Chains A and B, each alone.
Chain A
Amino acid sequence: MKRRDFYDLGIRCRDERVKSFAFELGFKDIWIFSEPDNFEGGPLLLNPLNRKEFKKLIAKYHSKASIIAILSSNMKNDRAFIRNDFVHILYGAHRYRFDRSFVRDIEENNIAVLFDLSTLLEKGRQRSVSIYRMRHNYFLLKKRDIPILLSSGAKNIFSMRPPDEMIAMASLFDMEEDDALRALSDDAERIRKRTSPNYIREGVEVVEKGYER
């Protein structure tokens, strides 16, 4: 059986022990998202209230951030945000139910959707509603073969979860095991490549640079 490398690309914890703890849990690498207030380079998570604020933030950070994710809020705003070329990831698929045209937009703009599993740690009605929405959104995304990422969305070190448990948690919203494995390894690897300086666009990258005579 092929040995896989796992990645958790949606950590929001600034603890310095987080990398070593992730390694102990079985991850090869993680991404730690910063917010504009504490941004010092690397992946950036934006949570704009409206389009005007979004444009300002993108103009300010698009050249500094290695990858930009948008925290999902509502479909109307998110639809406008994901059309921007500098946005790579829609963070969170539990805030609302996607519809078909929204999923088509996600596909056309080559956006990956990150499922934040930290929402499953809350008990009661909130968790039930989140599971229902995630199930709905997962099936729509799967139909169009859109890259899905799974993340613990950890805001502190002990909210992180090992890959096996994340796969089991994904089964709560009927995500198939193969898809969950792909979300944690192959799709994550594909998204990671976008931060490489050789990356140009999906399927196009610099393999070798020529030398001038």
Chain B
Amino acid sequence: MKDERFRYLAVKIHSEKEIRKEEFVKEMWSSAYSLLGDLGVSKMNLRVVRYDYPFAVIRCSHKSVKMLSAVLGCMKEVDEKEICVQILGISGTIKTATEKFIQKRLLE
């Protein structure tokens, strides 16, 4: 069996108030289960690998990038705070996702 390939999505979270990591992760899983069901989520291999509000890096299997984009698009609110998750870029490594998309933004 081949090793699973991942993609890392660098995202920016827009909200009026700061969102804690636990809240964000909980809502992301809830949104994923609601949209795709247990079977769909099991194929995504979803995980938040870095989180430093308002930026985060989310891992998923390389085949489910589009599904994860839809899941993030369907996230409406976290703990009654409205949010909008913007995908800054998609990469094959955590390092590139962080350096190319997040740190570059911070320097701008």
Mark A residues whose CB is within 8 Å of B. 21, 24-25, 117, 120-124, 127, 156-162, 164-169, 171-172
From B14, B74, B84, give the contact of A169 (CB < 8 A).
Answer: B74
CB distance from B108 to the nearest CB of A (A): 12
List B contacts of A172 (CB < 8 A): 35, 70
Q: Is the CB of A158 within 8 A of B66?
A: no
Instruction: With CB as the reference atom, state the residue of chain A lying closest to B69.
Output: A168
- Nearest CB in chain A: distance from B80 CB, A: 12
Residues of A within 8 A of B31 (CB): 123
For residue B87, which residues in chain A have a CB less than 8 angstroms away from its CB?
162, 164-165
Smallest CB separation, B21 vs chain A (Å): 19
The interface centre, meaning the residue of A156, A157, A162 with most chain B CB atoms within 10 A of its CB, is A162
Q: Which of B54-78 contact A (CB under 8 A)?
A: 66-67, 69-70, 72-74, 76
Q: How far apart sit A5 and B57, CA to CA, in the bound complex (Å)?
A: 27
Interface of B is mostly: mixed
Bound CA–CA A24/B87 (angstroms): 12
- List residues of chain B with CB within 8 A of the CB of A123: 31, 34
B84 & A161 in contact (Cβ 8 Å cutoff): yes
- Return the chain A residue nearest B31 by Cβ: A123
Q: Does B103 contact A (CB under 8 A)?
A: no
- Indicate whether A158 sits within 8 Å of B69 (C-beta atoms), given known contacts A121-B74, A124-B34: no
> What are some 7 contacts across the A-B interface (CB < 8 A)?
A120-B74, A121-B76, A122-B76, A160-B84, A165-B85, A168-B67, A169-B70
Query: How far, in angstroms, from A123 to B76 measured CA to CA in the complex?
Result: 10
Binding site for A on B (CB under 8 A): 14-16, 31, 34-35, 66-67, 69-70, 72-74, 76, 82-87
> Assuming the A-B contacts A121-B76, A124-B34, A159-B76, are A171 and B70 also in contact, with contact meaning beta carbons closer than 8 angstroms in the complex?
yes
Closest CB-CB distance, B47 to chain A, in whole Å? 19
In the bound complex, CA of A77 to CA of B12 (Å): 42
* Smallest beta-carbon distance B89→chain A, Å: 10
Could you tell me if B69 and A165 are in contact, using CB atoms closer than 8 angstroms?
A: yes
Residues on B with beta carbons closer than 8 Å to the beta carbon of A121: 74, 76
User: Are the CB atoms of A158 and B15 closer together than 8 Å?
Assistant: yes
* Cβ 8 A contact of B84, one of A122, A158, A167: A158
Bound CA span A124–B31, Å: 11
Interchain CA distance A138-B84 in the complex, whole Å: 26
Q: How far is the CA of A209 from the CA of B15 in the complex (A)?
A: 49
Contact present for B14 and A165 (CB under 8 Å):
no
Say whether B84 contacts A168, CB under 8 Å. Answer: no
By Cβ-Cβ distance, the 7 closest A-B pairs, closest first, are: A168-B69, A165-B73, A158-B82, A168-B70, A121-B76, A158-B84, A169-B73
In this complex, which of B34, B73, B82 has the most chain A Cβ atoms within 10 angstroms of its Cβ?
A: B73
Task: Please report the C-alpha to C-alpha distance between residue A21 and residue B82 in the assembled complex, in whole angstroms.
Answer: 14
Complex Cα spacing A25 to B86, Å: 7
Q: Smallest CB–CB gap between B76 and chain A, Å?
A: 4
